[in-house]
Every structure is written in structure tokens, then in C-alpha cells.
Amino acid sequence: MTVRIDADDRTGVAVVTLDRPERLNAVDLATAAELASAWRGFRFDDSVRAVVLTGAGERAFSTGLDRDAEVPQPGSPYMLDDPLIGIGPKAAGLWKPVIAAVNGMACGGAFYLLGEADFVIADESATFFDPHTTYGMVSAYESVHLAQRAPFGEVARMALMGTAERVSARRAYEVGLVSEVTARGRSAEAAVRCAAVIASYPPAAVQGTVRALWSAQEATRSAALSQAPHLVALGNLPTEGQAKLFAARGTRFRTR
């Protein structure tokens, strides 16, 4: 299992942990399936009233899609298969509150998850960046998810600067991507504390509020995401070209 679930029946809080620290909690196909299954399961489990999502280890929340994952694609740009499209709670129709707790790196496909959390808490070690353009890939889904949470200019800069810059937890807080910054290693603890408070309230009122909040941006979000598949198909370098750029990657970057 690459997704660990720890549920507390007393508080009504479940903690979902991406448990692949040796791969920086990157999401492979098995992990994607486990996440989708977890969210669907919570829909039917009334003992779980709020959820915390985090990553194992200190180095990363998640670095997105595992580069070793093999995802065969149809030949048409109108039929892109995206293995991450169903990994978030809202994609599974879960309207219970989900709080993301970020430690270390959160980049690329991690934004599918952060984009569908209700709010994000980060520890002071957290950094956020989007490597897609550096490696010849279109940042489509990631940019749409981020644009729902942060000012356009900040999202555009992150998407276009690629691996040259990382956004610190403090900067993420300043622009509204993150709601709280904790001491190193304390983000999950802070998220569980918030989740326990929310879980103590009447569930129907909480879930109705979550649904109302998301309805406020749903039309724009759905329309934007509908453009993503063919933009990715038309704009991405072939896999071989991406691999060459990734192999030649540098390690220098600026944190702001």
C-alpha cells in the first residue's frame, strides 16, 4: 500500500498519508488508484467527518506523477489519458472537508491534490514550484487548480519559471495559497487540530458549506479544465524529448 489511512473514531478525523518517501511521495498508477478509492470510501463512512492529507517523510509532500509511471496514450489529442485526474477528493464527489498539510516540496502534479483541498497548512520547510515548462510540458491542470487559490500573476510566474524558482511557505502564505505556516514538522499536527474542530460540528451543515464554497468557482474551473487535455496533447514534447531535458536538469534555483 502506498496510501496510509489512520482514522480516529473519537474525533471523526482521518489522516491520509502519501507513503512513498523514497520516491518523494510521487504518485504512480497504484497510488492514484488508492487515492481515488480512499475518497470514494469516505463518502460512505459517516464516522469520518473531516480529512487531513499529508506526505510521509520530511523531503516532500509530493512531487506529482512518478516519472517511471508508464501511461499509454491514444493517438488523438482529443482523448488524453491523465492518470492524475481522479486523485483529488472533489473528483470523487467527496464534499467532506479536506485539509492539506505540506512538508518539503510540493510541485507539479501535487497541485491536483492541493487544488482540491479546502485549505492548505504548510510548515516552514515547504516549497512550491511547477517544473512542467522546464521539461517541455504544458502546465494546464496544475495552473487551473492554482489559479483558483492564488493571484493570477503569482500562478503565471510559478508556471512559467519552472524549476528556476521555488515559492517559500512564507510567500505562499502572503499570496493566499497557504492559510497557515507552522514550525518545521508541525503542519500535520496543525491540520489535525483544525480538522477536529470542524468534525465536531453538525456534518450536514459542514458538508453543505463545503459544497457552497466550491459552487462559487465551479463553472469557471470546469470550463478551464475542459481545455486542458488538448493543450497538453498539442504542447507537450514527445516523451523522449522530455526525458532528455530531465536528464540534463540542473540543481540551481532561487527561493522567494
Q: Is 140 within 8 Å of 82 (Cβ atoms)?
A: no
What pLDDT is recorded for position 9?
96
Tens digits of per-residue pLDDT, 20-55? 999 999 999 999 999 999 999 999 999 999 999 999
* Lowest mean pLDDT, pick from 67-81, 114-128, 131-145, 240-254: 67-81
Instruction: Please provide the average confidence, as pLDDT, over all residues in the chain.
Output: 94
Q: Is 133 within 8 Å of 160 (Cβ atoms)?
A: yes
**In which band, very low, low, confident or very high, does the pLDDT at 69 lie, cut at 50, 70 and 90?**
confident
Long-range pairs of 211-219 with CB within 8 A, sequence gap ≥ 24: 211/95, 213/118, 214/90, 214/95, 217/148
Provide mean pLDDT across the span 69-97.
Answer: 87
Provide mean pLDDT across the span 98-124.
Answer: 97
Percent of the chain with pLDDT over 70: 100
pTM: 0.93
Any idea which residue has 487548480 for its cell? 145
* Residue with more model confidence, 210 or 75: 210
